[in-house]
Chain A
Amino acid sequence: AAGVIQSPRHLIKEKRETATLKCYPIPRHDTVYWYQQGPGQDPQFLISFYEKMQSDKGSIPDRFSAQQFSDYHSELNMSSLELGDSALYFCASSTHSEQYFGPGTRLTVT
């Protein structure tokens, strides 16, 4: 069965650069969630989208923005990157109940 796809899997950026992470949900899933997991920490909820509209907002910095497109894929845009943004970024998709996580994108800011 198809799973949640995230790209790229690894990304290295310098401070003050921008980055765009992509998430492709499981077909027919209408909800996408973004999480940030720092080293040794639990994943922190950033933002979610339902039917292309923002449905909930967590601890997403103002430097970050996200959107869900007509094909239900989502992109997390990160600007003015800081060293502390280095983390694993997970996307998850769901329809009514279960939430399926993607493999994550490891962002390293140098």
Chain B
Amino acid sequence: KNQVEQSPQSLIILEGKNCTLQCNYTVSPFSNLRWYKQDTGRGPVSLTIMTFSENTKSNGRYTATLDADTKQSSLHITASQLSDSASYICVVSSDSNYQLIWGAGTKLIIKP
């Protein structure tokens, strides 16, 4: 069964600290993996998208990694800011028809 699991479920860190969010998937076949940031009451906003051959991709203070062998991805946030408080969702696309399998998200809270 195609699944995407994220951990931790929630995370609280102090402003300025770094953190890493995890995503494990059992989706097959694999097309690409995306990380989204979602603020409460808004639609998800894409942070990174990686295909099978990409190991790492950065977007400002966000760096995503992908290990296609172990089917794991991580999202590393550097020097966190209060505005980083949001849900971070890992989404895996299984085929060219863009069937998306969504993780449940990690709720990140940045405290001053």
Which residues in A have some Cβ–Cβ distance to B below 8 Å?
Answer: 35, 42-45, 48, 56, 58, 88, 90, 92, 97-101, 103-104, 106
Contact = CB atoms under 8 A, between A and B. Distances in A.
Contact of B45 (A42, A100, A104): A42
Nearest 5 CB-CB pairings of A with B: A101-B102, A45-B43, A98-B104, A43-B43, A44-B43
B10 A58 contact: no
Given A42-B36, A106-B97, A100 B102 contact: yes
Contacts of B10: 97
A104 B100 contact: yes
A48 B101 CA distance: 20
A101 B99 CA distance: 12
A106 B105 CA distance: 23
A103 to B, nearest CB: 6
B87 interface: yes
A92 B43 CA distance: 11
A98 B38 CA distance: 11
Contacts of A45: 41-43
Given A42-B36, A97-B10, A97-B107, A103 B45 contact: no
A100 B44 CA distance: 12
Contact of B46 (A35, A42, A58, A99): A42
Contacts of A97: 9-10, 107
Interface in B31-87: 36, 38, 41-46, 87
A1 to B, nearest CB: 10
